[in-house]
Structure 1
Amino acid sequence: MSFWGKLSIALMGENEHESDKVMDTKALAILDEEVRDATDTLKRVKSDLSDTVKKFAVCKEKVSEFEKNISEYEGYVEQALGKNNEALALDVAEKIAEMENRLSTEQDSAKYFGRSVDELRVAIKQAEQNLRRLKQQVDTVKASETVFRAQAAVAFNGDGDDTRLRTAMDSLARIHQKQAEKSAKITAADEVAQISQDDALKARLAAAGIVASGSRAQDVLARIKSKVSG
């Protein structure tokens, strides 16, 4: 049964105002069935092709065998005639005639199976292309349907979900801000502590006479006085 025939039966008995959603669902189900049926049919045709190829090969082998035997027996006829044995030559000729009849039958069968193989291969190639396109179309429709359902779900939830999302994002931003402020305070305290430690260490070094103490201005004044005195 055709796709449209199945669809008509599926919709039969439904209210004429049936929603598009229900119709689309049934159409997709029927398309899936069509894909399965086409796949099964393609498998059967491929199996038929395999059997036909085998039969074609057998016929060709028989044709080759008959042609070889006929050629061989024709040689026997020539030898019998060469020995003036007309009766033997006639018997062999009758055998040749029988083989030629069988050869003709096998040649006809070989031609038939050969044509069948070619036609089946063309049909399979076309069927595979059609099936591939059908599957792609079905997959595309299903993917679109999934997107539509997701969009519909978001739209159905409305502004409530948007408000909750914004509230959550605002809370997250506040948490990040507080963490940043706390981190800055800790860093500043560490720097102050480090400076205090450095000053204390320099004072100890100056007291021990290891480093110079006093201000930089005193050092400059002492250097100038030394030059003047010199």
Structure 2
Amino acid sequence: MSVWGKLFSAVRGGVNEVAEGAADAQALRILDQEIRDAEAALRRARSDLAGIMATTKSLARKVEEAQAKDAKDMDSARAAMAAGREDLARGLADRVSKNRAEAARDQAEHERLQASQAQMIRAVQDTETRIQTMRREIEGVKANESLLKAQSAIASSHAGVNSRLGSAMESLERVKKRQEMTAGRIEAGAELQSLESGSALDRALLEAGIGGGRHSSDDVFAELLRGEKAPAISGPAAPDRQLGFDPKP
């Protein structure tokens, strides 16, 4: 296939897809129109059937009248023969012959119309049944279509709510983390401030000679010149004191 042929096929395929998509989108409207068309055709069929039935009845009456006239003419012909009026009997015989030929044609037409009438009655009844069935099915399809649309809208709305909830939860977590970090910074700042203020106070006390001990070499040498004993370092009691034994005599 040539390139132009392939392109033409592709274009036709696209047109068919568009047409099918449009038909699917308007499927229920198309079904309603098709049902209306079928009902209009059914009304025409009923009208035609009514005409055939009227013609059939008219032919039936005509055949009955021809039969009644045939019987009357035959009685009159017999009476004419009995009266010796052969000329009258022959005239009646000729009329009966014509009437019988016409009645035979009417009878044949009547039978043909009866067969057509029966066929059309069956067709009309079948069409009525099919239309009623289609109507019920279309109503069911419409109800199902409405249900599917409602379910789709609910699902879409639910998905949107879930998406918004998810986004809100993420925002909430970010806010919590930011608050935790801010609180941590505040606590750390307070601790640093406490440590800094305590160190400054300790330094000030030491410089003022308050609290703590000064154990420089000058202090130790001064203690030696004075003959002072080194200050006892607090610690656990000696074992003999723990036992209540005094080492002095």
If you compute each CA radius of gyration, which structure gives the higher value, 1 or 2? 2
Structure 2: how far apart are the matches of 1:148 and 1:85?
92
Q: 2:35 maps to what in 1?
A: 35
Q: 2:91 maps to what in 1?
A: 91
Structure 2: how far apart are the matches of 1:151 and 1:79?
91
Q: 1:176 maps to what in 2?
A: none
Tell me by how many angstroms 1:63 deviates. Answer: 0.5
Unaligned runs of 5+ in 1: 1-11, 163-230
Partner-residue secondary structure (3-state), 2:26:
helix
Structure 1: how far apart are the matches of 2:20 and 2:91?
82
If the length of structure 1 is used for normalisation, what is the TM-score? 0.60
Structure 1: how far apart are the matches of 2:151 and 2:20?
17
Q: 2:213 maps to what in 1?
A: none
Q: 1:52 maps to what in 2?
A: 52
**Quick one: percent identity of the two aligned structures?**
25
Structure 1: how far apart are the matches of 2:63 and 2:49?
21
Q: 2:62 maps to what in 1?
A: 62
* Alignment partner of 1:126 is 2:138: no
Tell me by how many angstroms 1:30 deviates. Answer: 2.3
Structure 1: how far apart are the matches of 2:130 and 2:78?
59
Tell me by how many angstroms 1:26 deviates. Answer: 2.8
Q: CA RMSD in A?
A: 2.6
Structure 2: how far apart are the matches of 1:83 and 1:23?
85
Q: 1:218 maps to what in 2?
A: none
Unaligned runs of 5+ in 2: 1-11, 163-249
CA pair 125-16 structure 1, distance change in 2 beyond 3 A: closer
Tell me by how many angstroms 1:78 deviates. Answer: 0.3
Partner-residue secondary structure (3-state), 1:76:
helix
5 Å matches for 1:1-230? 22-158=22-158
Partner-residue secondary structure (3-state), 1:58:
helix
CA pair 15-52 structure 1, distance change in 2 beyond 3 A: closer
CA pair 50-17 structure 1, distance change in 2 beyond 3 A: closer
Between Structure 1 and Structure 2, how many residues are aligned? 153
Structure 2: how far apart are the matches of 1:105 and 1:19?
55
Tell me by how many angstroms 1:103 deviates. Answer: 0.6
Amino acid at match of 1:117: Q
If the length of structure 2 is used for normalisation, what is the TM-score? 0.55
CA pair 17-40 structure 1, distance change in 2 beyond 3 A: closer
Amino acid at match of 1:136: R
Structure 1: how far apart are the matches of 2:136 and 2:118?
27
Tell me by how many angstroms 1:127 deviates. Answer: 0.8
